[in-house]
Structure 1
Amino acid sequence: MENWGLSEWLHWQEALNPKEIDLDLQRIQIVASRLEILPPENLTFLIGGTNGKGTTLALIEDMLIQKGLRVGSYTSPHLINYNERICVNKKPISDSRMIESFRLVESVREDVLLTYFEFGTLAAFITLNDLNCDAWLIEVGLGGRLDATNIISPSISIITNIALDHQEWLGTSLEEIAKEKAGIIAVKTPCIFGDSFLPESIEQTALEKESDLHVLGRDYDLRYLKQRTRGDQDHTVWNGQDSVINAIRIPSHWAEGEYSDLAIALMAIEIVDAQLLPTTKELNQLLKNFSVPGRFQIIEKKQTWILDVAHNPHAARNLNWRLHSLDFQENNINLLKNGRSKFTVLLSMMQDKDVIGFVKEIDQPFVTDWIVCEMDTPRSYSAEVLQKKLIDYGIANVTAEPELLAAFSNIKNSTKKNDRILVTGSFEIVGPA
């Protein structure tokens, strides 16, 4: 171990516990008790929910950095490099810093069989602790109640929304899933819910834990207001608990999900410290430059590539809206030459995902061809199985490419200049793109 590089450490962690996912806090709590993990008392954000966690976290991150704070973040999974999971002011930590934290976890682990995610979570907390971050932004991995991130005491808990995903672990109904995600609500600690549909289990958990619950549409909102008179302009307004931000310029390609994410982020900032809320000018400058890798990320090359990690029907619905929005973006008018508004879609998904539910949400007239492939993980659907599912659903133009890299190569060679290619279905397919 003394001379191991980062890849060797990660390989070893994957085999340490025979179960890839083992939802139980006992193991990580035992090891955590042997470490000094002290999150910031007033600026520790624990962010859960089905979709929008990454975007919500990134918005809070940008707002706090804009105010001069040193912000540490822990997210998962990564797109390309493991180091992306742990950042300070958006900069991934170095391999050497990562290895130093791994060594410290191992030095106190003894015979506890941590999972890959538990080991990494402890290393992340140690790193953020040692690097003296003013604020911690922690993204929940899976569920909430038994997720490894739930060992810390947050200043505020955030649940972005509830949708069907990971049913084999969290339950088959929205209420069952909500109950698991409500597990991150802490005693006498504020909580934000980012949807107007409030599951009973979240409301009940907040009551039991005496948590001040703030619900989108009830306690705060973000509204687009049409002009009322000739001299007025359309504008967006955020209404918080005691604060209002007017004249917000929302990016033209945003959908309902991003509106909610922004409303949540602003509410979280107001609750922990209203002095850290951005002014209208600061917020508009932030939004003008805002992007999150793999979330409707547009890359202009010979073709136009759109990368999105959506992997469940709820996220696909939001993605579909954003595809529609491309036709109205002046800054992307070059995408619409010759009236072109269609895509080649490169799709791959994990075996626990609702493929047809996902595909149903993408308007078929948008798509000229579907290309399905297998990702480099045993959890991936094979290209042949995906192809059969889409054909059985009634989609005719479906090509199976067993190897991911071959699929990318063939798309590049078979599409023309300025064609649009959507890569979606999983983090594992977007990363290599």
Structure 2
Amino acid sequence: MTRTLDEWLAYQERVNVRSIELGLDRVGQVWRQMGAAAPARRVITVGGTNGKGSTVAMLEAMLAAAGFRVGCYTSPHLLHYRERVRIEGADASDEALVASFERIEAARGEIPLTYFEFGTLAALDLFARADLDVAVLEVGLGGRLDAVNMVDADVAVITTVDLDHMDWLGPDRDSIGVEKAGIAREGHPAIVGETDPPAGLLDGLGRIGASVERAGIDFFVEHLAEGWRWRHRDGTTLVLPNPALAAPVQFANAATAIATVHALQGVDPALAQADLPVMAATGVRLARVAARLQSLGGDPALIVDVGHNPQAARALAEWLDAHRGGRVHAVYGALSDKDVGGVIRALGERIDHWHLAGLEHDTPRGLSARVLAGQLALALPNARHDTHGNVGEALAAARAAAQPGDRVLAFGSFFVAAAVLAESSGHDSA
């Protein structure tokens, strides 16, 4: 009897007792048993601590603007699992995903796979059947041992490196950078999107023998009175509109995406014929990603963001500093492996009132509001706050407390963003 998509996803959560199991041996063996077909004629792999989703969206928009057939694999999803696999701008259907999971199940035999590995194999399988020009693969965790690293990237992208997932990737930026460098390949371009990358990342890329291009060294962002300028050390210069995505950090993500397309043009004759200025301008103008400082309107305004680590919180703080207004009411929830204190300290006094949402009923990794309150008391002893059993209750309380001209900022875990978007749209997440 054929399983539905929801039944398949529930099965995948049971079939391997470990929700995370890094390593390429098991998933690589299944992929080879499925034929290991190339997902596209060219592959871009995007890793990094923050900025991956936005960079993927800009790459997708830029390449599609030139008429290329593009597939994107991202995670996690917000409202529905189908969001993880996009082919030519459309989410994969339930039927296509189910058929792919059936092929994976037939190939794996007794080999255990994680939920993420099932999804990665499904994306690669569906892409290989779609006759794509470019596949853009977002790394799930780290890089070197992440399932997407089965596929050799024509261009590897490392957006940023900061402290997150330290239980898996190491205790500092250098060790995390080494793990993220592992998605690069010898002789192929590796685009580094931050101007101050850790030595571990650069050393790792050097040992691999990648052709490294760095923000601030090989390509540059220059702000203008109207718009901005992207410039490459080879003399290529583009004057562009501001990114549609709101945060100041999106200029860096846009610059990184443009550098990636520019590098790919150097290795692909078909892409070399494309009009880079048109691709870049279209991409930064059209790219959208849910829950990246997404405004849901209203007064008080409701803004939702997936910022869940200190680096992302610093970007939120920069945006709040640049967009001053009324009081800020935060709806915040977090998972147990996150640096809650670091997030709180990064935002500091910019938050007037914290509405702490428990996530322990959403996921085994979710923190209760009581634990969050303890972390808040340590980081900001005088912070005003209330605790709530879930995101819905926290959001309702924040809206009730906010006055016209104030803002409600819902952020932290993807579970927070998903609940807020689902409430706003009237849909359930899955």
Q: Which amino acid in the other structure matches residue 237 of structure 1? A: R
1:361 to 332, 339, 346: 346
Corresponding residue of 2:232? 240
Q: Name the CA distance, whole Å, in 2 between partners of 1:53 and 1:371.
A: 28
Deviations 1:296-322 (A, max 9, x none): 101113531111101111111111111
| 1:406 aligned counterpart, secondary structure | helix
Corresponding residue of 1:383? 369
Contact 1:237–1:244, Cα closer than 8 Å, also in 2? no
Residue 334 (structure 2) pairs with residue 349 (structure 1): yes
Correspondence list, 1:11-410, <5 A: 11-39=10-38, 43-225=42-224, 233=225, 235-242=227-234, 244-251=236-243, 254-273=246-265, 274-279=272-277, 283-327=280-324, 340-364=325-349, 366-375=350-359, 376-393=362-379, 394-410=381-397
| 2:238 aligned counterpart, secondary structure | strand
Deviations 1:368-402 (A, max 9, x none): 21000112111011001101221233133110001
Contact 2:190–2:213, Cα closer than 8 Å, also in 1? yes
Q: Name the CA distance, whole Å, in 2 between partners of 1:415 and 1:235.
A: 34
Q: Which amino acid in the other structure matches residue 361 of structure 1? A: A
| 2:6 aligned counterpart, secondary structure | helix
Q: So what's the TM-score if we normalise by structure 2?
A: 0.90
> Which of 164-173 and 283-292 deviates more?
283-292
Q: Which amino acid in the other structure matches residue 413 of structure 2? A: S
Q: Name the CA distance, whole Å, in 2 between partners of 1:203 and 1:406.
A: 45
Q: Structure 2 stretches of 5 or more lacking a match? A: 266-271, 421-430
> Which of 31-40 and 309-318 deviates more?
31-40
Give the C-alpha shift of residue 360 in structure 1.
1.2
Residue 419 (structure 2) pairs with residue 432 (structure 1): yes
Q: 1:379 to 1:425 in 2, by over 3 A?
A: same
Q: Name the CA distance, whole Å, in 2 between partners of 1:88 and 1:155.
A: 19
Give the C-alpha shift of residue 247 in structure 1.
2.8
Q: 1:305 to 1:113 in 2, by over 3 A?
A: same
Q: Name the CA distance, whole Å, in 1 between partners of 2:397 and 2:227.
A: 44
Contact 1:384–1:402, Cα closer than 8 Å, also in 2? no
User: Percent of pairs identical after alignment?
Assistant: 32
Contact 1:347–1:370, Cα closer than 8 Å, also in 2? yes
Aligned length: 411
Q: So what's the TM-score if we normalise by structure 1?
A: 0.90
**Root-mean-square deviation over aligned CA pairs:** 1.9
Q: Name the CA distance, whole Å, in 1 between partners of 2:405 and 2:285.
A: 24
> Which of 318-327 and 354-363 deviates more?
318-327
Give the C-alpha shift of residue 235 in structure 1.
4.8
Give the C-alpha shift of residue 73 in structure 1.
0.4
Q: Name the CA distance, whole Å, in 2 between partners of 1:89 and 1:419.
A: 39
Contact 1:39–1:136, Cα closer than 8 Å, also in 2? no
Q: Structure 1 stretches of 5 or more lacking a match? A: 226-232, 328-339
Give the C-alpha shift of residue 343 in structure 1.
1.2
Q: Which amino acid in the other structure matches residue 224 of structure 1? A: H
